[in-house]
Amino acid sequence: MIISITLENWMSFRDKARFSMTASKERQHGTRVPRIEKYQTRVLPIAAVYGGNASGKTNFFKALHFARILVTKGTQPESLIPVEPFRLDDGSDSKPSRFMFELLVDETIYEFSFAVTRRSVLEERMVVINSSSEKVLYDRRDGKPNFDESLKKDRFLEFAFRGTRDNQLFLTNTVSQKIDNFRPVYSWFKDTLELVAPDSRFEPFDQFMEEGQPLYTTMNELLSQLDTGIAHLGGEEIPLANLHWPSTFKAMLQEEVKEGTPVRILAGPGNERIVVARKDGELVAHKLVAYHPNSDGANTKFEMRNESDGSQRVIDLLPAFLELSAPKSKKVFVIDEIDRSLHTLLIRKLIETYLNQCSTASRSQLLMTTHDVLLMDQQLLRRDEMWVAERDRTGVSSLISFSEYKDVRYDKDIRKSYLQGRLGGIPRILMGCGVNTPSRKEKGEGDE
């Protein structure tokens, strides 16, 4: 689970911005808020980030994507680190970008932080936080690892540090060297954190193609309940010769596809989803199709390109909600623009279904960015689960929780206050007279 995330000098976040999933003292919806007994704290199962266009919502999502790639895939020798510092004032472009994560991993809280420029990792630190104390496992500064006393005698750790390139995280290198001391944090970024962009596609779509696959029955039941018009999904075999792919690509498939290791392919603007496998020595292709009931009671086949953007988005998002709601799930899904192409009632139903599965023992989380103000409802979300990203006139973004505002009561129409600009995070639209709507900060209301 995410406890908190802090960003500094990253894209539009010039100043230190902290996003916290720790629950406030609010009692609303308390039965579904996970409780971490060891630390006597509660961690929220969901958070929604609102804000106008270009306010910083997607930059927050991109920060998580950048950190995940840097931790799990690392960098190539001599390559630049693809960091994106703030660029709208003098000096920020040359300053390091800083990231700090507080994570709950297997009932233990870790703090992992790093500071990077395009050329090197300047600082890197990992702390294990116990109920009453903290232990700094390592603190990388000035070219030194500064290990905790319990690790100083480990010669192999020292060897691994000396072999860590300037443009590489020590955490990443330890895992590549098969050192397990810090693997829980690495595994969280690799296996627990899931990022879903507006154009992301669910990659293991072959699970929808035939009975017996893990998601086949559940997906088909839900698609019919969500008014997509789809009776069920399935797979259709197609000759490889009928696929309009370059001959070089087909030749590569002939070379690469082995028996028992199918290849999934997302192809073309029509979002065709094709699985190529080898059976009895020959390549066989199947594509995902949808079946709709017709007036005769039979089913008519539809290509995926014939499905609406909304239906395709549902097909891609449903597996995330199913995984979030699964018993003992520890997944953290971050979904950018969750409402893209989807009706507000459908999104609300998905969120309600997930939250109904949450309890004080839950460990999954959903973070989402959205413009859908109809979800801004205290019957659905707590005040500390709703945030705004706001960009000021200098291009600097900030993150603010609704729980920080004293005038946001539990019984208040929070949506109305937001749309009236009392909570910030709305577009500053140029009016006909040339007047610009000020932000909450610029009106002097930010510290209320």
Segment 193-210, tens digit of pLDDT: 999 999 999 999 999 999
**Cα 383 to Cα 376: distance, rounded to the nearest angstrom:** 9
Pair (43, 102) in one structural domain: yes
Q: Looking at residue 421, what is its pLDDT?
A: 84
Among 310, 344, 378, identify where a domain stops.
Answer: 310
- In terms of pLDDT, which residue wins out, 132 or 3? 3
Pair (163, 85) in one structural domain: yes
Q: Looking at residue 55, what is its pLDDT?
A: 94
CB-neighbour burial class of residue 88 (10 A; exposed 0-12, middle 13-18, buried 19+): exposed
Q: Are 376 and 415 in contact (CB under 8 A)?
A: yes
Confidence of residue 446 (pLDDT cuts 50, 70, 90): very low
Pair (209, 187) in one structural domain: no
Long-range pairs for 28-32: beta carbons < 8 A, 24 or more residues apart: 28/378, 28/382, 28/383, 28/410, 29/355, 29/381, 29/382, 31/359, 31/360, 32/355, 32/356, 32/358, 32/359, 32/360, 32/362
On average, the pLDDT of the chain sits at: 92
Q: Looking at residue 244, what is its pLDDT?
A: 86
Whether 330 maps to a domain, the answer reads no
- In terms of pLDDT, which residue wins out, 438 or 146? 146
Q: Looking at residue 422, what is its pLDDT?
A: 80
Pair (275, 367) in one structural domain: no
Q: Looking at residue 431, what is its pLDDT?
A: 58
Whether 318 maps to a domain, the answer reads no
Write out the two tokens for 216: 């086949």
**Among 401, 319, 422, which residue's Cα sits nearest to residue 48?**
401
For the chain, helix (H) and strand (E) counts, in that order, are 9, 19
Q: Looking at residue 430, what is its pLDDT?
A: 62
In the predicted structure, residue 391 carries a pLDDT above the cut 70: yes
Whether 181 maps to a domain, the answer reads yes
Rounded average pLDDT over 98-112: 97
Burial annotation 345-384 (CB, 10 A radius, 16+ → b, else e): ebbbebbeebbebbeeebbbbbbbbbebbebbebebbbbb
**Cα 412 to Cα 9: distance, rounded to the nearest angstrom:** 35
Rounded average pLDDT over 386-397: 95
Pair (29, 119) in one structural domain: yes
The domain tally of the chain equals: 2
Confidence of residue 418 (pLDDT cuts 50, 70, 90): confident
Pair (65, 172) in one structural domain: yes
Whether 128 maps to a domain, the answer reads yes
Rounded average pLDDT over 306-331: 95
**Among 407, 374, 410, 371, which residue's Cα sits nearest to residue 388?**
371
Query: 48-99: per-residue pLDDT in tens?
Result: 999 999 999 999 999 999 999 999 999 999 999 999 999 999 889 999 999 9
Confidence of residue 440 (pLDDT cuts 50, 70, 90): low
Rounded average pLDDT over 169-186: 97
Write out the two tokens for 73: 């895939």
Q: Looking at residue 424, what is its pLDDT?
A: 79
Whether 109 maps to a domain, the answer reads yes
H/E stretch holding 415: helix 414-419
Confidence of residue 297 (pLDDT cuts 50, 70, 90): confident
Pair (349, 442) in one structural domain: yes
Identify the weakest region by mean pLDDT among 41-45, 124-128, 204-208, 438-442: 438-442
Pair (355, 440) in one structural domain: yes
Pair (86, 120) in one structural domain: yes
Using alpha carbons only, give the angle 158, 6, 400 rounded to the nearest 5 degrees.
175
Helices (H), 207-339: 216-225, 247-256, 309-325
Q: Which residue has the tokens 């979904």?
A: 335
Pair (100, 43) in one structural domain: yes
Among 275, 310, 345, identify where a domain stops.
Answer: 310
In the predicted structure, residue 439 carries a pLDDT above the cut 70: no
Whether 394 maps to a domain, the answer reads yes
CATH assignment of the domain containing 358:
3.40.50.300
Rounded average pLDDT over 403-408: 81
Alpha-carbon distance values, 47 to 43, 131, 347, 367, 402 (Å) = 11, 25, 14, 5, 11
Confidence of residue 242 (pLDDT cuts 50, 70, 90): confident
Q: Which domain holds residue 1?
A: 1-198+336-448
Q: Looking at residue 448, what is its pLDDT?
A: 37
H/E stretch holding 292: strand 282-293
Pair (3, 152) in one structural domain: yes
Whether 315 maps to a domain, the answer reads no
Whether 126 maps to a domain, the answer reads yes
Alpha-carbon distance values, 400 to 45, 56, 193 (Å) = 18, 12, 23
In the predicted structure, residue 14 carries a pLDDT above the cut 80: yes
Q: Are 291 and 232 in contact (CB under 8 A)?
A: yes
DSSP 352-408: HHHHHH--TT---EEEEE---GGG--TTTS-GGGEEEEEE-TTS-EEEEEGGG-TT-
Pair (289, 391) in one structural domain: no
